[in-house]
Amino acid sequence: MASLDYAYRRLVNTLGPERVARSEFERMVYSHDFASLPKIALLQWKLYPDFVALPQTTEEVAALVKLSDESLLQITPRGGGTGWYGGSVPNRGGVMVDMRKMNHVVAFDPDGRTVTVEAGATWKDLEDFVESKGFALPIVPVNAIGSTVGGAINTGSTGFGAPRGGSLRDAIARLLVVLPDGSLLKTASDSDADGQLANLTPLFFGAEGTLGIIAEATLRVVPKPESSKAIAYAFPSLAASARFLKEIVESALVPFHAALASRDHFIFERALRPDSPDPSDVALVAVQGSKDEVADQERTVDGLAAKENGAKLVPALADQLWRDRYNNYSARRLSRGLVTSYNLIPVSRLPEAVDRAVEIRDKLKLNGAVQAFLVDSTTAALVPYVLMDDTRPSGGTALGFVKRMGDAAFKMNGHSMGLGLFLVFNLRKMHGRATSFISAVKVVFDPRKKINGGKTLEVWTKYPWPGLRAIPPPGMAVGLEIAAVLRRAKPTRDRFVRAYERGKEE
């Protein structure tokens, strides 16, 4: 391996000194993603990158990838860092490639209804651009403000608009990817050829940056709807709001979006912003179509909500909830950290699933809230979160919640989302005997494990020595299970918000 100073010089020669960082502070910023990690994690992983590189062009990304053949440093691509599983943090240092300077719209084709954008653009910026042209994105990932185009594709994200707009995978016309050998690959034909002409795009959907670095994405856009409306209801219980979402699917209605948030979420919001809605179990539905259709859909949704004793909120409140839809985790400011568990579960089991999430949270004596939304006619995303303070000794034990929630999702014939560095033990649970097929993909594209190695399929440590170089994935599961047990044994509940605690004591 070349010395770090030599590697630094080569990086500076490629990008210039202003786009290569190696200071302690900058490296620290890149040592975690949205999830907070206890300091003990540094014992097994070198989470601080050796260098942070900020390329501005696809050619520069290719040059960085080729440079790693000289330096033998690992490459870790990173978008907005809004993931939760360590997919975009290093495990053995190396070069962190922050894609956020590649954030331009490359081409917009109103006739072909596509937009080509660099991978580091955020979804919110892209949405604003597309809307300024009279179009809309069929689906926008949940963390649209911070999440980048490449990041969401790499995590196999779902989001707003999925019931109507379909999967994000189907919204991708093609990708331009820098492969581990530094060459470029278009993952699908330039024409709209369906899955024909060898479409490799799905392989990169959810790949967590382990097959190559997505440099550009060509995405489908849809015409702006003639009319749209957000409608919100307060329900007597969380289960009732979940039954309401299930009824929407049963009624053959195809809303643009349908989501629920538990009362606890609004308690946290109220603690941060006095003008936030009164705490209650709320469902938010967005419908689109012609004016007549929107009115008809609203009547139908009203009828479904009434069956579950849902009280319609005033339009101004529904509009406010819709405007704030991308701010899901403000509660993080109450506790310094927050852990989210992202799961897909069958719609038919959504009422059971939300109850189970509350039960797990309460058993682990955590503060948290439950959010869920419809993905398609069979699938709902269940996204509960809990607050944690990783500066306290017990803080890290909150990570046990993610393990328990994932297990619950599998029991309900669903699955947790994301593998990254921390949840690799779920791979075999997800795919069973097909795991070897999945692993074959990495072997074909990146046999030397240059790009984001030691993640998704296996867990590398920072130690290169045999016997210590990797953690068997079940070992990670045991670690998180111990965290859950310790959490449960903790004699006191966390106390971040008084109103929340009062609610639990009542």
- Of the residues 192, 278, 359, 362, which one makes contact with another protein according to CB under 8 A: 192
Give the amino acid at 74. Q
Span of 98-106, 117-125, 440-448, 475-483 interacting with another protein by CB under 8 A: 440-448
Two tokens, residue 309: 């004793």
25 binds another protein (CB under 8 A): no
Binding mask of the shown chain, residues 296 to 325, with x at each position contacting another protein by CB under 8 A: xx-xx-------------------------
Asked if 274 and 252 touch (Cβ cutoff 8 Å), the reply is no
- When the beta carbons of 111 and 275 are compared against another protein, the nearer one is 111
Which residue in 432, 466, 467, 491 binds another protein (CB under 8 A)? 432
Q: Annotate 1-69 with three-state secondary structure.
A: CCCHHHHHHHHHHHHCHHHEECCHHHHHHCCCCCCCCCHHHHHCCECCCCEEECCCCHHHHHHHHHHHH
Candidate residues 105, 145, 438, 470; the one interacting with another protein per rule CB under 8 A: 438
- Total residues contacting another protein by CB under 8 A comes to 92
Nearer to another protein, 365 or 403 (CB): 403
Phi and psi at 197, nearest 5°, equal 55, 45
Phi, psi for residue 58 in degrees, rounded to 5: -60, -35
- Which one among 234, 254, 369, 402 touches another protein, defined by CB under 8 A? 254
Nearest approach, Cβ of residue 398 and another protein (Å): 21
- Pick from 105, 427, 470, 486 the residue near another protein by CB under 8 A: 427
Contacts of another protein in 265-284 (CB under 8 A): none
Q: How far apart are CA 466 and CA 495, in angstroms?
A: 44
Q: Verify binding: residue 441, another protein, rule CB under 8 A.
A: yes
Contact track, another protein, 234-253, x by CB under 8 A: ---------------xxxxx
**Is position 54 an interface residue for another protein (rule: CB under 8 A)?**
no
> Parallel, antiparallel, or unpaired: how do β-strands 172-178 and 184-186 relate?
antiparallel
Which residue in the set 42, 72, 107, 197 belongs to the binding site for another protein (CB under 8 A)? 197
For the segment 211-230, give every residue that binds another protein (CB under 8 A): 211, 220, 222-223, 225-226
End-to-end CA distance of the chain: 62
Residues from 61 through 100 that contact another protein (CB under 8 A): none
Helix axes 350-363, 400-411, angle to 10 degrees: 150
The least CB distance from residue 393 to another protein, in Å, is: 31
Region of residue 417 (phi > 0: left; psi between -120 and 50: alpha; otherwise: beta): beta
- Is 106 one of the binding residues for another protein (CB under 8 A)? no
The alpha carbon of residue 161 and the mean position of all alpha carbons in its chain are separated, in whole angstroms, by 15
- Name the residue nearer to another protein (CB basis): 63 or 353: 353
Per CB under 8 A, which of residues 151..180 are in contact with another protein?
Answer: 155-158, 164, 166-170
Q: Is 332 in the site for another protein (CB under 8 A)?
A: no
352 near another protein, rule: CB under 8 A: no
- Rounded Cα distance, 49 and 20, in Å: 12
Q: Does 195 bind another protein (CB under 8 A)?
A: yes
Residue 290 is a binding residue for another protein (CB under 8 A)? yes
Contact between 385 and another protein (CB under 8 A)? Answer: no
Q: Within 13 A of 277's CA, how many CA atoms are on the CB side? A: 27
Span of 229-237, 268-276, 286-294, 352-360 interacting with another protein by CB under 8 A = 286-294
Per DSSP, the three-state class of 409 is: helix
What does the alpha-carbon distance between residue 327 and residue 337 come to, in Å, rounded to a whole number?
15
- The nearer residue to another protein, 108 or 463, going by C-beta atoms, is 108
Nearer to another protein, 10 or 169 (CB): 169
Nearer to another protein, 139 or 313 (CB): 139
Q: Which is nearer to another protein, 220 or 356 (CB)?
A: 220
C-alpha span between 324 and 320 (Å, rounded) = 6
Q: Would you give the distance in Å from CA 89 to the centre of its chain? A: 14
Q: What is the 3-state secondary structure (H, E, C) of 417-457?
A: CCCCCCCCCHHHHHHHHHHHHHHHHHHHHCCCCCECCCCCC
Q: Which of 208, 269, 281, 446 binds another protein (CB under 8 A)?
A: 208
CB of 85 to another protein, least distance (A): 9
Q: Quick one: 257 or 442, whose CB is closer to another protein?
A: 442
Under rule CB under 8 A, residue 339 binds another protein:
no
State the DSSP H helix or E strand holding residue 375, giving kind and residue range, or none if neither.
none
Helix-strand-coil percent breakdown of the chain, rounded to 5? 40, 20, 40
